[in-house]
Structure 1
Amino acid sequence: MVSSRSRVARHATILLSALLLAACAGGDPGGGEQSGTEAEPEPGGRLTVALNGDEPDNLDPHGLSATNTTVLLRPVLESLFWQAEDGTFHPWLADSWEVSDDGLVYTFALREGVTFHDGAAWDAEALLANFEHILDPETQSPLAAAYIAPYSSARVVDELTLEVTLSTPYSAFINVLSQSYLSIVSPQQIAEDPAGIREHPVGTGPFIFDHWTQGESISYRQNPDYDWAPEAAAQHEGPAYVDELEILFIPEEGVRYNALAAGDVDVIDWTPPQNVEAVEASADLDFARVDRPGHPFSIWFNTSRAPLDDVRVRQAVVAAVDRQSIVDTVSFGQWQLADGYLTSPTPDFAPNSDASITYDVERANELLDEAGWTERDAEGYRTRDGERLSLFYPTAGTIAQTQQILELAQAHLKEVGVEVVIQTVSEQEQSERSSAGDFDLSAGIWTTNTADVLYIQYNSHNITTPERRGNNSTRLRDEQIDDLTQRAREATDDATRQELYSEAQARLVELAPSLPLYTRPSLVSSSSSVHGIGFDYAYGALWFYDTWKES
């Protein structure tokens, strides 16, 4: 069930509570000890969680790619496997898997006794229906279909066994099958109401989808029949502890934090970095930091057009930007400086051992001179043949921190004579310009639990064309990267895969198709009366099966 109404009244109430709290605050904020009470869990009650304003336009896991997807869908939808904190994979809706020697055939043995919220049975036919739904053109899958691109066919062996055949070996197959983007939807809903998945997905999870008030919140209720949580993660058996779960969208950082401090919400993700120290110092609040795997937040360069088609200009931009200063300023020291083209929790991460991604203004100036940008105009910007060295960044300006990062980088680049023009456009225009390649700079982050993100973001096969939308934002075309990332995803042994991804990361440092800035962790703050908050480590996202509240 979905509806749309103003969130003004709800947020006004939260803001009023926050203002009253600030007016009454004073004295010692607390001893700073996080709650470590080993109390007996108390079933029941309502858990209220606040996220930022990154609300998806639909809730079909196979038809979206929004940042908050995992937190929103994990209460309802589950995956074949659970990824633990150490990166290993464990049974969830699948008991086990086997892989043929050539890496082309996967046989999945499914868990017995699982039912969907609508009464449909979990079996091999249900899994087959999900693969077909992902690949159905009507689903318009922007991410899940890309993640299983090597999928060729599937065969039902028996009620609880499905055999999947791939067109090529795919080393990340189990990784992506643990992600929420490939979580499992009721086959009955897929068959009878596929459009309804976008508004009220039906799954097997510990919570049942209740209501989506667009622009404000999503509510869930406990699944009383639930008894199949992943043993590798769960701290208890049976239904979830809380009766109700509500997730609010609060884009304003200060309002989100003050709502927690005032007791209007129980948990917040995306804790404002400037408030982390206050949370850690409070006896009434707890804090957790969980690093996310994938590609770090980066400024992407359009390598398909001048001036960034010249590797010397790209390398100069990398050298001219004081990344540490930017990260410290924007994150108040809460984010980690990126050390390459993968974040450190990502499998096959290879650190930037030669330290080529460094702040070096002298080197930046030398590179720009070599590239022929030797003259200066009246405003101090470099020119060549009468043309100013200028980079165009169109942005919808919806994320304040991204805007701040680009403005700081803009100032750094001006010091070496590079102009950055930041133009605010509509989200539609930004998307259209991105698809058409009408930009010089863009920015973003890609969270995923596999180094295959390097194939997704830098292999030339994934450049957007009139026929298909790809995810290679840099439009990089490099034969070595294409070869390395293709062979890495097809590798059938760990050592070969790791070596290939290591070479790919080193090659990217040379090519400088983007400027890696930081690893953005989940910064989670909660009331000290809340216990048992878990994390889905395939994404570094919140998981509420074991969560309970003291009365």
Structure 2
Amino acid sequence: MKRRPITWTAPLALALSLTGCGDPATPSATSTAAARSPAHGGVLKVALDGDPLCIDPHQAGNNTALNVGRQLTDSLTDQDPASAEIVPWLAERWEVSADSRSFTFHLRDGVTFSDGSALDAAAVKANFEAIVALGARASLAGTYLSGLEGIEVQDPRTLTLRFKQPNAQFLQATSTMSLGFFAQSTLQRSSEERCQGALVGSGPFVLDKFTHNQSVRLSHRKDYAWPSSLAEHSGRAWLDGIEFLIIPESGVRLGSLLSRQIDVNTGVAVQDEAILEAQQIPFIARPNPGIVFNLAPNESRPRLKELAVRQALNKAINRDELQGIISRYQKPATSALASSTPLYRDFSAQLRHDPEGAAALLDGAGWQLGADGIRARAGERLSFRVDYWQASTPVLELIQQQLRQVGIELRLNKTTISQVSAQQTEGDYDLWFFNLTRADPDVLRTVFLNSGRNVNRRDASEVDQALQASSTLLDPSQRRTLVERANQLLIEQGHLLPLYEAATVTAFGKQVNGLHYEASTRLQFFDTWLEAQ
């Protein structure tokens, strides 16, 4: 089995030395690993930039958690990162009905969970039904199964899922770890127990220990023998184990990589790129498909319920200025969707910097400039708080300055991922700073649909009709039209303020080989191996 080339591996210096002020040059694809033979052994030490919180991929939504979860479980299908083609994994083949309401999967024989129980059609059915039963706790996976009408097991290796309406996004969803599989012993545990590590999966690694804000330890599974058709080898993983270390400080991650206390830094900070260049540290980089980094207004707050205020926020942001402080592997947003997402369309004309237009909108809505330069109306200041945990302070500080130029105050509150998660659940936020990676435009429905996650906490509107219909239409041109319409409405009505496209840059020691991203730009360690030093 041979994986198609999907990323690049080279010294960071090579990539940066060829880069001017425009788009970054593509680094050389040459790799010294080609002259060596993979070998079993070693524990890979991987630095994460935050606590995973919940490592159950059925429930998790943040990248740190999903990077762990991907190693524990397999999926029915896989997605080629280069072509976006859906290819076999646990399902050898499948049939989709003409109306895209019925999906029949034919499973590989001999797949088991790490407790020895069979991963058969009944187990797949039990997992999907358990995801539905999780309700809102399955923040991503639940939306992928929306409208599930029933699951029929024909025989131990064949099952059919039927949906109430056409479901154009479902096949791609089956390639995600959010729809991965766990043994019956796991499905019987509480959601809290599963979050904390009560997970028995089918993947190439098993969970040994999860200690919050410290580490997650995995060991290889000796009898693993069913990798994706994109994998470069069969049999067990090359590594003996993986130790994920939670290291929030970028400088500590950098120092740990340079001193070889860690093997992989999954969160290279922009300010560290030049240092890694000088040290000739290898890296892989890939743009993230899905929803760009943005600020989503909580429209249950009276000030953000005003269309004029939301539109003024969008007009006040100068996205081109962001290029000077974000990574050269990122770029200013031109849409709600990243340009690497299928069915992307450029909406940069609607995102043009227009401070005069922003000021006119606010003047018309009665928000008048105060002596301190911040607008107010009826004694209330035009002030909003953004809570965040990511290493994005320079970006938000620049946005803060831009908004102040039109009289809007943005208060920055950097906190922990757990605190941000709690505030989102409780609705205690003004602007939510986030991105969401998925190699399918249905990611918009996942996040913004009024009857779904509804991050805006807004009333139903035309955008919901477009979002819902886009997930049901089979004709690609019709689906594109609806995705573009939903995208346009989200921007025009200020339901999100696109900022910049995400990209993931991962640096690693020269002893690390075979490291790569899967289609949603999360790390897959099955083919990774360590060279003896």
With the length of structure 1 as denominator, give the TM-score of the two structures.
0.85
1: CA distance, partners of 2:125 / 2:471: 23
> Aligned runs of 1:107-122 on 2, under 5 Å?
107-122=104-119
2: CA distance, partners of 1:162 / 1:137: 22
Could you tell me whether the CA contact under 8 Å between 1:48 and 1:248 is conserved in 2?
A: no
2: CA distance, partners of 1:143 / 1:102: 24
Amino acid at match of 1:122: L
1: CA distance, partners of 2:417 / 2:270: 26
Q: Offset at 1:323?
A: 2.3
Q: Give ranges in structure 2 of 5+ residues lacking alignment.
A: 1-16, 19-26
1: CA distance, partners of 2:156 / 2:214: 41
Q: Secondary structure at the match of 2:361?
A: helix
Runs of 4 or more, structure 1, over 6 Å off, are 30-34, 192-195, 424-429
Q: Which residue of 1 aligns with 2:133?
A: 136
Alignment partner of 2:446 out of 431, 456, 460 = 456
2: CA distance, partners of 1:517 / 1:192: 40
> Aligned runs of 1:46-445 on 2, under 5 Å?
46-85=42-81, 86-137=83-134, 140-191=137-188, 197-198=194-195, 199-231=197-229, 233-283=230-280, 285-329=281-325, 331-352=326-347, 355-373=349-367, 375-384=368-377, 386-393=378-385, 395=387, 398-401=389-392, 403-422=393-412, 434-435=424-425, 437-445=427-435
2: CA distance, partners of 1:240 / 1:411: 49
Structure-2 change in CA distance of 1:208 and 1:481 (3 Å): same
Q: Offset at 1:425?
A: 7.8
Q: Offset at 1:406?
A: 3.2
2: CA distance, partners of 1:270 / 1:425: 18
Could you tell me whether the CA contact under 8 Å between 1:347 and 1:450 is conserved in 2?
A: yes
Q: Offset at 1:382?
A: 2.5
> Aligned runs of 1:36-51 on 2, under 5 Å?
36-51=32-47
Larger radius of gyration: 1
1: CA distance, partners of 2:314 / 2:157: 52
2: CA distance, partners of 1:267 / 1:443: 26
1: CA distance, partners of 2:189 / 2:380: 58
Q: Deviations over 1:22-79 (max 9, x none)?
A: xxxxxxxx99987434123242332433333432333322233232122102222111
Structure-2 change in CA distance of 1:242 and 1:425 (3 Å): closer
Q: Offset at 1:377?
A: 2.0
Alignment partner of 2:510 out of 517, 528, 539 = 528
Q: Offset at 1:160?
A: 0.2
Q: Which residue of 2 aligns with 1:467?
A: none
Q: Which residue of 1 aligns with 2:8?
A: none
Question: Identity of paired residues, percent?
Answer: 31
Structure-2 change in CA distance of 1:488 and 1:533 (3 Å): same
Q: Offset at 1:83?
A: 0.8
Structure-2 change in CA distance of 1:420 and 1:177 (3 Å): same
Larger deviation: 417-426 or 217-226?
Answer: 417-426
Q: Offset at 1:399?
A: 3.3
Q: Offset at 1:270?
A: 0.9
Q: Secondary structure at the match of 1:69?
A: helix
1: CA distance, partners of 2:244 / 2:63: 14
Larger deviation: 117-126 or 492-501?
Answer: 492-501
Q: Secondary structure at the match of 2:471?
A: helix
Amino acid at match of 1:528: K
Q: Which residue of 2 aligns with 1:492?
A: 474
Could you tell me whether the CA contact under 8 Å between 1:52 and 1:253 is conserved in 2?
A: no
Could you tell me whether the CA contact under 8 Å between 2:220 and 2:239 is conserved in 1?
A: yes
Q: Deviations over 1:484-543 (max 9, x none)?
A: 111101112222111210121122222121211111111110112211112121x20111
* Paired positions, count: 506
Q: Deviations over 1:466-490 (max 9, x none)?
A: xxxxx22223435321111111011
1: CA distance, partners of 2:46 / 2:241: 14
2: CA distance, partners of 1:335 / 1:447: 14
Q: Deviations over 1:246-288 (max 9, x none)?
A: 11111111101111111111111111111223324433x2111
Q: Offset at 1:362?
A: 2.1
Q: Offset at 1:214?
A: 2.9
2: CA distance, partners of 1:216 / 1:429: 17
